[in-house]
A and B are shown apart, each in its own frame.
Chain A
Amino acid sequence: GDSVTQMEGPVTLSEEAFLTINCTYTATGYPSLFWYVQYPGEGLQLLLKATKADDKGSNKGFEATYRKETTSFHLEKGSVQVSDSAVYFCALSYSNYQLIWGAGTKLIIKP
């Protein structure tokens, strides 16, 4: 069945470091791909999305490119801040209501 695999956390970086959080997926069709972020004590919120191959989603300095050939949607940011500390979830969805979630990756940024 369809699934999403994320790199295990926690990922610990220093402020201004480059960030990559890996996400790969298994899908029988052509889903839309999402990154959601969960800050401490809050619900999830959409960070960015891409709906077809080669699309790049971007928001708040974060980027991810929908790569069909490698079935990946890695999250990147050029210079992280302490305020980026959160749990990041990769997810996929087809043309229905189901979001298939990755396990989440906790990111810790140290000043």
Chain B
Amino acid sequence: DAGVIQSPRHEVTEMGQEVTLRCKPISGHNSLFWYRQTMMRGLELLIYFNNNVPIDDSGMPEDRFSAKMPNASFSTLKIQPSEPRDSAVYFCASSLSAYSGNEQFFGPGTRLTVL
């Protein structure tokens, strides 16, 4: 089992550019989460999908952020246009089920730097 796969691992871009982060969850998992981690704000849940359907996007900072899950094995998080304050590590996580007691498996993260 390869675990949760994220790409790219590092992304450096200039302000105003579009950024797309990619995630492949563990096969058979039906819940997918996107998190953002910064020193100032810690770990924040951005959006949660269940069976490919967005259930809670209340953590998405603003309209510049969007996420999709076209099928059970792929999800994207897009930032357009990017700003320096978006610089962070973005994690994707998946779980068998979202309910209490179920482990979330995290990918290695994408470190985004917006200049």
Give A residues with C-beta under 8 Å from B.
Answer: 31-32, 41-46, 49, 51, 89, 93-99, 101, 103-104
Contact = CB atoms under 8 A, between A and B. Distances in A.
B101 A97 contact: no
Interface residues of B, number: 23
Contact of A101 (B42, B103, B105, B106): B42
Q: Is the interface of B mostly helix, strand, loop or mixed?
A: strand
Contacts, number: 51
Given A44-B91, A101-B42, A104-B43, 20 more contacts: A32-B101, A42-B108, A43-B106, A43-B109, A44-B93, A44-B106, A45-B106, A46-B103, A49-B101, A49-B103, A93-B101, A96-B100, A97-B31, A97-B33, A97-B55, A97-B56, A99-B45, A99-B104, A103-B42, A104-B42
